[in-house]
Each structure stands twice: as C-alpha cells, then as structure tokens.
Amino acid sequence: MKNLKVGIIGFGTVGTGVYKVLQNFNNIEIVKIAVKNINKKRDIENFNYNLLTDNAEEIVNNPNIDVVIEVAGGVNPALDLLKIAIKNKKHIVTANKELLAKHGSELFSLAKENKILILYEAAVAGGIPIIMPIKTILCANKITKIAAILNGTTNYILTKMGEKDLSYDVALKQAQELGYAETDPTGDVEGFDAAYKIAILATISFNKKVDINKIYREGITKITAQDIKSAKELGYRIKLIAMGQVLSDGKIDVRVHPMLVAKKHLLAKINNATNSIMLSGYPVGDLVLTGAGAGAEPTASSVVGDLLVIASELESSNNPLPQAICNHSQIANQINIGDTFNEYYIAINASNNPGVIGVIGTICGKNNINISTIMQKGINEDNTAEIVVITEVSKESDIQNALKEMLHSDCIKKIDNLLRVMN
C-alpha cells in the first residue's frame, strides 16, 4: 500500500492504543501527535517525544499529513480542528461520538464538498464492527429496528447490582475503583454516551438525520436494589437500552432508558462492560453483534481498521469510497416519548389499607391501562406497602396521566419508580 502519513489528536487511553497498534504497519507513518501536556511521561517503550506537540493546528495545517485521527473527544476544539483539516483535504478518522451526534451533518456536508472521507467505526460500540457493515454489506437491507446495550459502564453497574444485591451507589463506586467509570460518571450513568451512539446508529440505519436533541434520555441513577430484586422475581433483568425503530407510519422512535428485559432475551445475557447490538431488517432478518464496547485495544482496532480502508482507497483511486460517504438529505420525523407504546413496571408505595389494589386498578382502567401482573412486596414499619405493577402495552401519555392521578389518591404515598419493559 501507499505510505500514509497521519497525525493524531489526543493521546489518552485510546490514542495510546492506536499508536501501539500502528507500530505493526510499515506503510503508516505517524508525523505528529497533539497532546495537552508535552512533558507528561508516556508509558511506551522507546517513545519518540519529538512527535508531540501541544498545538493541534500543526497537524490540521500540515501539508504532509494525509489523514487526521481524532481521539480527543468532546466538541471543542475538535469541531474547529476537523473543519480546518477537511478544508485542507485531509481524510478523517474519529472516535468522537458526541461531536458526530451534535455536528455530524455539518462535518459530512463539508467532507462531501471537499471529496474526502470521515470514517468513525470507533465512535459506536468500540471494537464491534457495525458502522461499515451497515454502509456496505447490509446496504441491501431496510433496517427497521435497533435495540442495543451501548455503554459498558452502566451495564457493569447493573450487572453487579443484580449479581451481588448491591445498591447503585456501591456498584458505581466499585466501577470507579476498577476504572470502568470516571470520577464524574454523568456522561455514562445519565445516558448521554448511549444517546450519542444511538443517534449515529439510527441515522445510518434508517437513512435519515436523527436529531440528538429529540432523543428521550433517561439514565440508571434511580434504579434501586429493590427494583433489581423485583425485576428478577418477575423474570427480568434491568438494562440500559438504546433503541430506535421505524414505525408503521414512517415516523422514527429513538430513545435511551432503562428497561426490564426478559431473562431469555439475548440482551439480558450481556453482562459487565460488554456491548451488544441487535438489528432487524429485510431481507436479512435479525442480527446480533456482541463484543468489547470500549478500551484501548478494541477501540484502536476500529480506528486502525478505518485508517487501512483509507490507505487502500488512496492506493487504488483518488475518489473516496462511495458507500462510506454520509448523505442523509431527509430529516427523521421523531416522535415524542409521550406517543410511544410500551409495557410498564410501576413501583408504588401505598398505605396498607383494604381496597388499595382496587384503587390502583380503577385508576389504570380509567386511563386505558390493562394490568398484567400486580404484586405486593410486604409491609414497612410505617404501615405502608410496596406494590409492583406490570402493565400490558399502554401509551406513555396514559401511563403518565395515571401516575398523576395515583399521587392525588389518599392511599398512594409515592411512585418509587417507573420503568419500561422490552416487548
């Protein structure tokens, strides 16, 4: 292959992993690496510190660099830097899901105008090959549904809560001690990370631009040990699910939130920091891809894979790989969470009085909600009862109206949690 000259922006866990993998390829030369601190000691044998710069513009404006690898993350200064690189006719390989979810349309339009590639296999699910397969080998399919576990941190926390009966706080602390969760875990536990990824995945799967600001997002911070236990007794496990589907009227439903998943379901069996993606389409049917969703080596695998695709393309042609170019002219008509239909898990704290179950049933009936299962979990010291309800498929807005009505009832003290059930 043609000798490819690259610059790397970002040299943390992923950037270091990319550097190490690239040492195995004689046709790829690392020209420069942009870092925040050029004096920081790097845990790399025989590392050439002359490669480092604290000025990323030395990379995006360097006429000798063919490809810019961006693994720094975040929107600023990545957005401005990549726009400069694109205008300077440099191909881009990035793992930056937040940047693509928020500004992908702008970057892809600029890339198309300048006839260069932006490849981003590492931006969704780390080492799992999903982006390029959808764009190439699966392009004959009409994909209509995605259900995925896209965040290893939250999956690890929920797994340990279920296996060891831990509280959320204890499981989070354990995840932080093991390096699965950041000191500030907000991006993971509040569902931002998974939302960025499903925005990207839904956009390329459904061939329509999905607006990250219209994705309903809910994290796992309200999940209690009692929720985990109740779900287990009912035959479910709780997972943070990123989902997208094309409805019968052509509208798009994209969201991220915890769900009760039946134990027999494949996603219920995905534990610890593993990621998994289920796709449904015609004519292929159902596909499941499972693997490491983060980490230096799995993510580097995807980054370097994209880089080698570009090297191969430049060897054979001056025109970018047509299938890899993002060109979503249609904007997705995304529905509001209130218009979705789901089964529901409702955890209720109520007075231990005769007729409470009847009150719950009456309120549900008035709001077009059929109850599938109702279970009382015991009596508390304050003479309140913990009641768990599983509904049949109901409209979200009807459920919300029912919950408001329940809270106005004298016998219902509070709604401890509301979770959707995967069906």
Residue 404: inside a domain, yes or no?
yes
Q: What is the C-alpha to C-alpha distance for residues 192 and 213, in angstroms, rounded to an integer?
A: 11
* Token reading at 217: 């997002």
Same domain, 197 and 81: no
Same domain, 13 and 120: yes
Rounded to whole angstroms, the maximal C-alpha distance in the chain is: 79
Give the HSE-up count for residue 337: Cα atoms under 13 Å, Cβ half-sphere: 14
**What is the torsion angle, in degrees rounded to the nearest 10, for the CA atoms of residue 213, residue 215, residue 221 and residue 225?**
180
Express each pLDDT in 366-408 by its tens digit. Answer: 999 999 999 998 888 899 999 999 999 999 999 999 999 999 9
**Confidence at residue 378, expressed as pLDDT on a 0 to 100 scale:** 81
Q: What is the C-alpha to C-alpha distance for residues 233 and 260, in angstroms, rounded to an integer?
A: 12
Output the CA–CA distances (angstroms, integers) from residue 175 to 156, 162, 181, 348, in the order listed: 7, 14, 5, 29
**Confidence at residue 312, expressed as pLDDT on a 0 to 100 scale:** 85
**Confidence at residue 92, expressed as pLDDT on a 0 to 100 scale:** 97
Same domain, 137 and 249: yes
Same domain, 285 and 311: no
CATH of the domain at 275: 3.30.360.10
Q: What is the C-alpha to C-alpha distance for residues 370 and 375, in angstroms, rounded to an integer?
A: 15
**Confidence at residue 317, expressed as pLDDT on a 0 to 100 scale:** 65
Residue 330: inside a domain, yes or no?
no
Residue 331: inside a domain, yes or no?
no
Same domain, 148 and 267: yes
| Domains: count for the chain | 3
Q: Residues in the chain with pLDDT < 70?
A: 1-2, 317-328
Indicate left, alpha or beta for 241 from its phi (over 0: left) and psi (-120 to 50: alpha): beta
* Token reading at 336: 């509001």
Q: Count the Cβ atoms, other than its own, within 10 Å of residue 315.
A: 11
CATH of the domain at 351: 3.30.70.260
Q: What is the C-alpha to C-alpha distance for residues 343 and 260, in angstroms, rounded to an integer?
A: 9
**Confidence at residue 40, expressed as pLDDT on a 0 to 100 scale:** 93
What percent of the chain shows pLDDT beyond 70?
97
Same domain, 193 and 59: no
**Confidence at residue 171, expressed as pLDDT on a 0 to 100 scale:** 97
Same domain, 28 and 159: no
Residue 114: inside a domain, yes or no?
yes
Sign of the Cα torsion 201, 202, 205, 210 reads: negative
Domain that holds residue 311: 4-125+295-323
The stretches of 115-224 forming alpha helices (DSSP H) are: 131-135, 152-164, 168-177, 186-189, 192-206
Catalytic sites, residue numbers: 197
**Confidence at residue 377, expressed as pLDDT on a 0 to 100 scale:** 82
What percent of the chain shows pLDDT beyond 90?
88
Same domain, 199 and 222: yes
Same domain, 266 and 369: no
- Among candidates 340, 374, 381, which has minimal Cα distance to 357? 374
Express each pLDDT in 3-24 by its tens digit. Answer: 899 999 999 999 999 999 999 9
Residue 259: inside a domain, yes or no?
yes
Same domain, 18 and 74: yes
Q: Taking a C-beta distance cutoff of 8 angstroms, is the pair 1, 304 a contact?
A: no
Same domain, 215 and 363: no
CATH of the domain at 58: 3.40.50.720
Residue 329: inside a domain, yes or no?
no
Q: What is the C-alpha to C-alpha distance for residues 4 and 11, in angstroms, rounded to an integer?
A: 19
Same domain, 378 and 358: yes
